[in-house]
Amino acid sequence: MKLRGPPIPLAKVLAALDERWPDANCELKHSDPYQLLVATILSAQCTDVTVNKVTPALFARYPDAKALSEAKPQDVQKLIKPTGFFRNKTKSLIGASRVIVKEHGGKVPDSMEALLTLPGVARKTASVVLGNAFGKNEGIAVDTHVTRLTQRWGLTRETDPKKIEKELMEKLPRERWTRFSHQTIFHGRYLCHARNPKCGECLLAGVCPSRQAAG
């Protein structure tokens, strides 16, 4: 991405996000680490809105990891089909639940190392669970919104989520990692769209190199 202007200073980005999205949080509805883990796995290539429509029935039938570990795949598939890729997601959900029961006493582990051993769990999912269910800033969840906006703001030139996360972790205070991800996702979801961004409503419009290029 070619920018017609210097990157936005990180301090300005953080200040604008705090002013515009002070209450940004995880929009996946959950009441415990197990529910958040399941919802996050389901959210891959699917909207949070759709996930939130599916999970109430799923959690009612499988209230914990033990119940889900014993589920029949075809039954889970029927419940989560609207989220897409339901066969692979079912395999991940049941597989992760079995490891949680066997290796962690039925409780979702609270470390990056342990979470990454669960089927269907990569760094983004683990970071979401750790940051929101356990209050631990162990990584930055880099989704399509975070990727797009950090590039638009000039905070990174990387395109690979792993490299973007590494660069952001080096630049951002650790205590901001989870909040930055939520705020950036909100900014991308509700203002800075991939097409037709609402630059007129953005607090960063005056210094954004992408806004300058657009107009």
Q: Which helix (H) or strand (E) holds 99?
A: helix 86-104
DSSP states along 162-180? HHHHHHHHHHS-GGGHHHH
Question: Which listed residue (66, 124, 171, 198) is catalytic?
Answer: 124
CA distance 96 to 83: 18
Question: Which listed residue (18, 48, 64, 143) is catalytic?
Answer: 143
44 in Cβ contact with 89 (< 8 Å): yes
SS3 labels along 102-138: HHHCCCCCCCHHHHCCCCCCCHHHHHHHHHHHCCCCC
Q: Is 64 a catalytic residue?
A: no
Using alpha carbons, list the distances in angstroms from residue 77 to 82, 117, 150, 166: 9, 23, 35, 35
* Torsion, CA 89, CA 93, CA 98, CA 104, rounded to 10: 130
* Torsion, CA 194, CA 25, CA 117, CA 79, rounded to 10: -80
Q: Is 143 a catalytic residue?
A: yes
- Residue 161 identity: P
Catalytic residues, which ones? 124, 143
